[in-house]
Amino acid sequence: MTRIILTRHGQTLWNIEGRVQGRLDSPLTEKGLLQARSLACRLCNEGIQHIYSSDAPRARGTAEEILRELSLDKINVNPALREFSFGDWEGRVWGELREAYPEIFKIWDVSPHLVTTPNGESMEMVLNRSWNFIQRVLQDHSGETVCLVTHGLTLKLLVTKALGFEISDWAQTPWQHNTALNIFDVNGQEWEPKLVGDCQHLEEIIDPKP
């Protein structure tokens, strides 16, 4: 049995501003760092042996807090764990995009899996690269416990697949808030969920004063 722990980076400035991040990055906020540290403390007894992260600084910064708490040697960085590429939308405010691309958002709001963003990716592309990477992780670390730090949409797609749903049914799985925790025990092709989208470690965080 291999244990796979999937989580998302902490809150960023663009999360607060409602901007599309995708392949671009914005720094972790003070609250985001607190979230990452709280997650790290929660994971200290999970027996994690390896940490993987997207190469985005916001994910690496979150993974570094876990690394520090667990006193592990290194973070394995891989672009396969990157966020959904939103192409031309990145850096823009979601509300502005809705006004600029009304026809695309008519589809996005109902069937986002059918959308390929302008010069960006589709959900199928994102799931294929990230899921294929996890299969390699499972081969390399059979019988071990591995933590992977990724991003909101990528994480939701991975959890959807792990729970046995099709991409078209992704709305049936919970949204992955910042540092949401998902734990699966994997035996062959069977993924047994232990936690899905859990954020209990955030309950006692007091928002930093402005």
145 domain residue, yes or no: yes
Domain that holds residue 134: 2-202
Question: Do residues 170 and 123 make contact, with C-beta atoms less than 8 angstroms apart?
Answer: yes
Strand partners for 100:
none
Blockwise average pLDDT, block size 10, the chain, 210 residues: 98 97 96 97 96 98 97 96 97 95 94 94 97 98 98 98 96 96 96 97 74
Q: What pLDDT score does 208 carry? A: 65
- Residue 40 tokens read as 């790290």
Question: Do residues 2 and 146 make contact, with C-beta atoms less than 8 angstroms apart?
Answer: yes
C-alpha 170/C-alpha 156 separation (Å) is 8
DSSP class per residue in 63-91 = HHHHHHHHT-S-EEE-GGG-----GGGTT
88 domain residue, yes or no: yes
Q: How are strands ordered across the β-sheet holding 181-187?
A: 75-77, 50-53, 145-150, 2-8, 181-187, 190-198
Find the CATH number of the domain harbouring 153. Answer: 3.40.50.1240
Query: Structural domain tally of the chain?
Result: 1
The count of other CB atoms within 10 Å of the CB of residue 137 is: 21
207 domain residue, yes or no: no
209 domain residue, yes or no: no
Task: Give the active site residues.
Answer: 9, 151
